């Protein structure tokens, strides 16, 4: 049976590290600040935003929330982002996805000052990541690396398979694995022989958003399996992309859903916000 990687425990350590750094900054008169912008009333988004606010309180980060109505215009959002760009109390700006239809999310991301882009979605920061000279690490992929390190999984020289090619997880995940000297294959909807490719993976990361997509026979014995998926099964229960009970029998280590990657995303956001505060004050 696989070792279960406890994302809650690892996230607690990351937040404790961020809190220690925030306290050291506070002694120098610097308080990291995070502004979260949420538009509309998506229930999942509200939960995420509340969790981020709670994490800020736990780590000594000042937070502001801007909860805007569904009918907020693109111009109003751009004006808010511009104001936050120039607000010295705010180290990081996060616009919660998804946005209501009709709003241009890419334009909003590009409007954020790259030094305050704590999601690492701005093209400037994406380019820095491609070059291996990143300031901020994208939160979910960075959290995956932390989880692998916590389980003493060696990445260098290993066959790494990432299922999914999104800008938020799949692509940056592949880059971080490659920066850690893994040999990376990205699989997607047009990939042929997907199961066979997955069976060759020493490290398998799934980020496709389909419940039970990765079955037990797709997992190499002893592999590290990281489940980024957040789905609901036929009973409405939260689950990942991986058929956990099947994969657990074969994998060497595996993340559960919930309690795996999810807590890490917010923990890494806290770390990025502290880093942003240092950067803006010339302390890193």
Query: Phi then psi for 35, rounded to 5 degrees?
Result: -105, 125
Cα separation values, 47 from 23, 38, 50, 52, 235, Å: 27, 11, 5, 9, 20
Alpha carbons 198 and 235: distance in angstroms, whole number: 28
User: Same structural domain for residues 172 and 254?
Assistant: yes
Single out the catalytic residue among 15, 52, 116, 278: 52
- 52 is annotated as an active-site residue: yes
Range of the domain at 175: 139-261
Find the CATH number of the domain harbouring 245: 3.40.50.720
Single out the catalytic residue among 113, 117, 119, 241: 119
| Residue 182 belongs to some domain of the structure | yes
Confidence of residue 71 (pLDDT cuts 50, 70, 90): very high
Alpha carbons 110 and 73: distance in angstroms, whole number: 17
Computed over every residue of the chain, the mean pLDDT equals 96
User: Same structural domain for residues 148 and 82?
Assistant: no
Would you call 220 helix, strand, or coil by DSSP?
A: coil
Tell me the chain's radius of gyration from C-alpha atoms: 19
User: Same structural domain for residues 104 and 162?
Assistant: no
pTM, two decimals, is 0.96
Alpha helix segments (H runs only) across 73-201: 74-85, 105-111, 123-131, 139-150, 170-179, 194-199
Q: What is the pLDDT of residue 12?
A: 98
Would you call 167 helix, strand, or coil by DSSP?
A: coil
Which residues, in sequence order, are CB contacts of 171 under 8 Å at separation 6+? 165, 186
| Residue 225 belongs to some domain of the structure | yes
- 282: alpha, beta or left? (left if phi > 0; alpha if psi -120 to 50): left
User: Same structural domain for residues 192 and 149?
Assistant: yes
Alpha carbons 125 and 120: distance in angstroms, whole number: 6
- 271 is annotated as an active-site residue: no
| Residue 61 belongs to some domain of the structure | yes
Written as six digits, the tokens of 85 are: 């760009």
User: Same structural domain for residues 230 and 148?
Assistant: yes
Alpha carbons 38 and 77: distance in angstroms, whole number: 10
| Cβ(261)–Cβ(228) below 8 Å | yes
| Residue 169 belongs to some domain of the structure | yes
**236, pLDDT greater than 90:** no
Number of separate domains in the chain:
2
Q: What is the pLDDT of residue 235?
A: 87
User: Same structural domain for residues 148 and 250?
Assistant: yes
User: Same structural domain for residues 146 and 189?
Assistant: yes
Q: What is the pLDDT of residue 226?
A: 98
- 220 is annotated as an active-site residue: no
**25, pLDDT greater than 90:** yes
Cα separation values, 192 from 126, 186, 196, 226, Å: 28, 12, 9, 21
User: Same structural domain for residues 94 and 168?
Assistant: no
**233, pLDDT greater than 90:** no
Lowest mean pLDDT among 78-82, 100-104, 206-210: 100-104
| Residue 102 belongs to some domain of the structure | yes
User: Which DSSP category does 100 fall into?
Assistant: P
Written as six digits, the tokens of 68 are: 């805007």
Mean per-residue pLDDT, 13-42: 96
Mean per-residue pLDDT, 225-253: 95
Write out pLDDT tens, residues 88-142. 999 999 999 999 999 999 999 999 999 999 999 999 999 999 999 999 999 999 9
Instruction: Count CB neighbours of 126 within 10 A.
Output: 19
User: Same structural domain for residues 163 and 231?
Assistant: yes
User: Same structural domain for residues 91 and 145?
Assistant: no
| Residue 207 belongs to some domain of the structure | yes
Among 200, 199, 191, 198, residue whose Cα is nearest residue 165? 191
Single out the catalytic residue among 96, 134, 271, 280: 96
Instruction: Count CB neighbours of 15 within 10 A.
Output: 23
User: Same structural domain for residues 101 and 180?
Assistant: no
Mean per-residue pLDDT, 204-218: 97
| Residue 271 belongs to some domain of the structure | no
**27, pLDDT greater than 80:** yes
**73, pLDDT greater than 80:** yes
**66, pLDDT greater than 80:** yes
Task: Look at residues 63, 78, 113 and tell me which one is the last residue of a structural domain.
Answer: 113
Percent of the chain residues topping a pLDDT of 70: 100
User: Same structural domain for residues 89 and 161?
Assistant: no
Mean per-residue pLDDT, 64-73: 95
Lowest mean pLDDT among 41-45, 109-113, 127-131, 271-275: 41-45
| Residue 254 belongs to some domain of the structure | yes
Find the CATH number of the domain harbouring 49: 3.40.50.10860
Written as six digits, the tokens of 121 are: 């979605």
Mean per-residue pLDDT, 197-215: 97
């Amino acid at each position: 049976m696989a070792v279960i990687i406890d994302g809650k425990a690892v996230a607690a350590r990351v937040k404790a590290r961020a809190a220690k750094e925030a306290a050291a900054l506070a002694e120098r008169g610097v308080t990291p600040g995070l502004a979260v912008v949420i538009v509309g009333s998506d229930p999942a988004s509200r939960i995420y935003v509340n969790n981020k606010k709670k994490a800020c309180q736990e780590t000594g980060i000042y937070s502001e929330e801007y909860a805007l109505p569904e009918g907020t215009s693109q111009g109003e959002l751009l004006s808010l982002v511009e104001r936050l760009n120039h607000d010295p109390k705010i180290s990081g700006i996060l616009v919660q996805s998804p946005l209501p239809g009709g709003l241009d999310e890419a334009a909003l991301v590009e409007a954020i000052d790259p030094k305050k882009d704590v999601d690492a979605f701005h093209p400037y920061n994406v380019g820095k990541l491609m070059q291996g000279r990143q300031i901020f690490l994208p939160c979910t992929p960075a959290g995956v690396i932390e989880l692998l390190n916590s389980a003493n999984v060696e990445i260098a020289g290993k066959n790494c398979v990432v299922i999914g090619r999104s800008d938020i997880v799949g692509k940056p995940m592949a880059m971080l694995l490659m920066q850690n000297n893994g040999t990376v294959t990205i699989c997607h909807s047009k990939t042929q022989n997907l199961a066979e490719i997955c069976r060759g993976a020493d490290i398998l990361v799934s980020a496709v958003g389909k419940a039970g997509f990765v079955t037990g026979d797709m997992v190499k014995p002893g592999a590290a399996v990281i489940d980024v998926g957040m789905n609901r099964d036929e009973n409405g229960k939260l689950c990942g992309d991986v058929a956990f009970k099947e994969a657990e029998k074969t994998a060497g280590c595996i993340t559960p859903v919930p309690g795996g990657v999810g807590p890490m995303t917010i923990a890494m956001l806290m770390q990025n916000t502290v880093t942003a505060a240092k950067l803006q004050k010339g302390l890193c």
